Amino acid sequence: MKRVLLTSILLLVLSTLQAEDGYRLWLRYDKISNTALLNKYRTAIKFPFVVGESETIKVAQHELSMGLSSLLGTTYQSNTGSIAASSLWCGTPDQSSEIDNLSSVLQLSKVGDEGYAIASIANNGKKRIFIAANTDIGVLYGIFHFLRLLQTNQPIENLKLVSAPKLKLRMLNHWDNLNRTVERGYAGFSIWDWHRLPGYIDPRYIDYARANASIGINAVSLTNVNANATVLTRSYLEKVKTLADIFRPYGIKVFLTARFSAPAEIGGLKTADPLNDSVQNWWAEKAREIYSLIPDFGGFLVKANSEGQPGPQNYGRNHAEGANMMARAVDPFKGIIIWRAFVYSNENPEDRHKQAYNEFVPLDGKFDKNVMVQVKNGAIDFMPREPFHPLFGAMPRTPLMMEFQVTQEYLGQATHLVYLAPLFKEVLESDTYSKGKGSLVARVIDGSLDSHTLNGMAGVANIGNDINWCGHPFAQANWYALGRLSWDHSLSSEQIADDWLRMSFTNDASFINTIKSVMLKSREIMVNYMNPIGLHHIMGTGHHYGPAPWVSNLNRPEWNPVYYHKADSVGIGFNRTSTGSNAIAQYFPEAQKLWNDINTCEEKNLLWFHHVPWNYILKNKRTVWDELCYRYYNGSEQVNWIIKEWLRQRGKIDDQRFEQVRMLLHIQAEEAIWWRDACLLYFQTFSKMPLPPGYEQPNKTLDYYKKLRFPFAPGGG
Ligand code: GCV
């Protein structure tokens, strides 16, 4: 008996030792299993040197030594051994005369301040790989790229790569509260241990910075946009300074969210009116204090006059007056203000879709040069599918920054496998037509369309203190995709998924091909079982988990799902054409053409723009009701397809993550049926039409679904 117990304990310890808990993200650096390739790499890589002495270079040296040793299964210690025999040289022209001499061959003029070149070059009679950049951070990014080539088993014989980021600000927005809850966070509590900072430094801060640097993220806003002014007090700023010091070598700048009423709340002033001298002085002083602690502080991210947050309108001022006041406070220190355009008001009877545009377009050209306006990808709120926000293209004199949501608030949270790169790409590749055909959203936000030097993209983080950071093993792919697309928005979803899978799981081709296809289809599958053909905002109240299209009793009309789907005895959908709210007029004429006419409207956005009779016949000859049924059933069946494909992967990857994903997929399948049946039973009370023949009948009643409650659902913040 004793022996059995001991053996089980030993096995448990062993399995824990070998556990793949997901902590290592995509930086696992497991030894390359293909022996022929391993030998090739070992032959090609000898005595790596990373030239320089800065903190960033030290990080780069460490990463390269660790990555190579681990991937190649033999010790590599950067900057030791024979420099003459070295075949991997990393550095900048300033630090290395070899690199300086080769700078035109390496094309360093093309890589700017953060980019890099990786090239195989014959040098002094020896073939060498150079990882070169104009700056130390460029060297670190290049080293991460090089390690990725090995992790993904790419050839390295004849490298000739030049890479520079398309966007300057590549950012994560944490919605983390000071009490460590995370608004819309589904992966545990905040990783910022405010209480024990600055004295206690969780090693996780360094791993977080490494992970971000490995995908090019160079800015993080630490706190919730529903801001708490306490973070601007001295004792918290000292904690922030500690984080900023840790992140600096990894090229990451820290931003804070600023509560507009802070001068009154913590500054003892009677007002926070942006035109008041004492308020202006307070912010100027606060900026001076912050920059004395954190010289490279990024600036403030501000949610104002939205969902109850204070803002300039409380004092009869507009967004530009509020933003500019803060911009002047940080300007002497090269700081910027990121002002969010996520505004809507219940006192405004206008379609919520139109409100941000109506408030912001008249302010175009009125913001100071160090203000960016951050716009969510769509006009409502991070739905499974939204047409792009009409502000893109409509404010040419203002740098607009993209705000995506990485945390899956409305997309199955940390339970559903949904790969978001296709959603991000769909928006980035949408044509605003603001300057004729080809005026893509991507070109608005990278500044190339309207010649802005400030430009960027942010994602609301999905990171928490769960051991695997993001809750769902596949949710890590969304953090990864945000970074890679911020660096280069022309990358395909497929390429990003391919890299992420290889780095996070295995290079096994059959696993990669199957699971990549699952990932690429997963977003569309989720749209089908949650919000097909343009339905939106029909999820449960408050926690936003699960379906609740019947909710109609909330004080604010635009918080009720019935406001959005408008189902009645005639049909379903929100008429946003000229005969309805006319939100469509906010788009340029060519974009309007995609959606304006019910007969030609892209079906994926049909109910977003039209109220459509239940028996209206679509191009595929189904009625709208039948199409809804088809999509809901198809979406939920497709989750079973995902499960089937996943089960075939047993043994190809570690058991621990295999099991985690398997269990989560089973919940996803149940929840897809919940979405399907709850929504169809509810909409059927209006359509009065039967399910098409052959469809399995729901086995629960609408009443059953209406009574479900989730009092402790996560993410409430
Ligand atoms: C931080 C949605 C979310 C809120 C969030 C808000 C925002 O409404 O449900 O939790 O608040 O967006 O983006 O400001």
**Rounded distance between C-alpha atoms, residue 41 and residue 60, angstroms:** 19
Tokens of 657: 């993550």
Check whether 254 has a pLDDT greater than 80. yes
Q: How many CB atoms lie within 10 A of CB 528?
A: 25
pLDDT > 90 in the chain, percent: 94
Does residue 381 have an active-site annotation?
Answer: yes
List 98, 273, 321, 409, catalytic entry: 409
Tell me the mean pLDDT in the region 523-547: 97
Residues 6+ apart with CB under 8 A from 89: 48, 49, 51, 96, 98, 99, 128, 129, 130, 131, 132
What DSSP line would sit under 74-140, residue for residue?
S---TT-S-TTT--EEEE-TTT-HHHHHTHHHHTGGGSTTT-EEEEEEEETTEEEEEEE-SSHHHHH
| Helix 203-214 / helix 476-487 crossing angle, nearest 10 deg | 50
Residue 12 banded pLDDT, cuts 50, 70, 90:
very low
CA 415 to centroid of chain Cα atoms: 17
Check whether 400 has a pLDDT greater than 60. yes
C-alpha triplet 582, 588, 592: angle, nearest 5°: 55
Q: What is the residue with the minimal CA distance to atom 12 of ligand 1?
A: 381
Q: What is the residue with the minimal CA distance to atom 2 of ligand 1?
A: 381
**Rounded distance between C-alpha atoms, residue 703 and residue 655, angstroms:** 40
User: Which is the closest atom of ligand 1 to the Cα of 303?
Assistant: 14
| Helix 234-247 / helix 203-214 crossing angle, nearest 10 deg | 50
Residue 120 banded pLDDT, cuts 50, 70, 90:
very high
**What's the pLDDT at 346?**
78
Q: What is the residue with the minimal CA distance to atom 11 of ligand 1?
A: 226
**What's the pLDDT at 658?**
98
Tell me the mean pLDDT in the region 98-118: 97
**What's the pLDDT at 83?**
86
Residue 229 banded pLDDT, cuts 50, 70, 90:
very high
List 30, 245, 265, 307, catalytic entry: 307
Domains in the chain (CATH in brackets) are 25-163 (3.30.379.10), 169-504 (3.20.20.80), 528-574+611-706 (3.90.1330.10)
**What's the pLDDT at 123?**
85
25 in the Ramachandran plot: left (φ > 0), alpha (ψ -120 to 50) or beta? left
User: Which is the closest atom of ligand 1 to the Cα of 225?
Assistant: 1
Task: Answer whether 56's CB lies under 8 Å from 22's CB.
Answer: no
**Residue 559 alpha carbon to ligand 1 centre in Å:** 12
Give tens-digit pLDDT for 589-601: 999 999 999 999 9
Q: What is the residue with the minimal CA distance to atom 8 of ligand 1?
A: 381
**Residue 472 alpha carbon to ligand 1 centre in Å:** 21
**What's the pLDDT at 591?**
94
Residue 18 banded pLDDT, cuts 50, 70, 90:
low
Tell me the mean pLDDT in the region 155-169: 98
Instruction: Write the CA distances from 228 to 24, 177, 207, 266, integer angstroms.
Output: 32, 8, 26, 10
Letter for the amino acid at 440? Answer: L
DSSP H or E segment with residue 688: none
Check whether 559 has a pLDDT greater than 80. yes
> E strands, 285-385, where?
299-302, 336-340, 371-376
Tell me the mean pLDDT in the region 537-565: 95
> E strands, 456-510, where?
456-460
Give tens-digit pLDDT for 630-685: 999 999 999 999 999 999 999 999 999 999 999 999 999 999 999 999 999 999 99
| Helix 624-647 / helix 509-530 crossing angle, nearest 10 deg | 150
Task: Answer whether 504's CB lies under 8 Å from 519's CB.
Answer: no
**Residue 301 alpha carbon to ligand 1 centre in Å:** 14
Tokens of 698: 């729901």
DSSP H or E segment with residue 653: none
Tell me the mean pLDDT in the region 207-233: 98
Give tens-digit pLDDT for 487-524: 999 999 999 999 999 999 999 999 999 999 999 999 99
Bridge partners, 434 (sequence order)? 436
Tell me the mean pLDDT in the region 272-290: 98
Check whether 2 has a pLDDT greater than 80. no
Task: Answer whether 84's CB lies under 8 Å from 122's CB.
Answer: no
**Rounded distance between C-alpha atoms, residue 315 and residue 328, angstroms:** 19
Task: Answer whether 437's CB lies under 8 Å from 493's CB.
Answer: no
pTM for this entry: 0.97
**Rounded distance between C-alpha atoms, residue 47 and residue 61, angstroms:** 12
What DSSP line would sit under 257-282, residue for residue?
E--TTHHHHTT--S---TT-HHHHHH
**Residue 675 alpha carbon to ligand 1 centre in Å:** 22
Task: Answer whether 243's CB lies under 8 Å from 297's CB.
Answer: no
What DSSP line would sit under 366-382, residue for residue?
-S-TTEEEEEESBSSSS
SS3 389: coil
**Residue 212 alpha carbon to ligand 1 centre in Å:** 24
Give tens-digit pLDDT for 411-425: 999 999 999 999 999
133 in the Ramachandran plot: left (φ > 0), alpha (ψ -120 to 50) or beta? beta
DSSP summary character for residue 555:
S
Average pLDDT score, the chain: 96
**What's the pLDDT at 168?**
98
List 381, 498, 645, 655, catalytic entry: 381
* 560 φ, ψ (degrees, to nearest 5): -95, 130
User: Which is the closest atom of ligand 1 to the Cα of 376?
Assistant: 13
Tell me the mean pLDDT in the region 550-574: 95
User: Which is the closest atom of ligand 1 to the Cα of 184?
Assistant: 10
Instruction: Write the CA distances from 288 to 221, 237, 271, 694, integer angstroms.
Output: 19, 12, 21, 69
User: Which is the closest atom of ligand 1 to the Cα of 544?
Assistant: 9
More confident residue, 646 or 123: 646
* Alpha-helix runs per DSSP H in 488-540: 493-504, 509-530
Q: How many CB atoms lie within 10 A of CB 102?
A: 21
pLDDT > 70 in the chain, percent: 97
CA dihedral 516, 517, 521, 522 (to 10 degrees): -50
Tokens of 519: 């990932």
Task: Answer whether 421's CB lies under 8 Å from 461's CB.
Answer: no
Residue 345 banded pLDDT, cuts 50, 70, 90:
confident
Output the ligand 1 site: residues, CB below 6 A: 175, 183-184, 225-226, 303, 307, 342, 381, 409
Residue 157 banded pLDDT, cuts 50, 70, 90:
very high
Give tens-digit pLDDT for 450-465: 999 999 999 999 999 9
Check whether 582 has a pLDDT greater than 50. yes
604 in the Ramachandran plot: left (φ > 0), alpha (ψ -120 to 50) or beta? alpha
**Rounded distance between C-alpha atoms, residue 696 and residue 354, angstroms:** 40
**Residue 45 alpha carbon to ligand 1 centre in Å:** 49
**What's the pLDDT at 1?**
44
**What's the pLDDT at 7?**
45
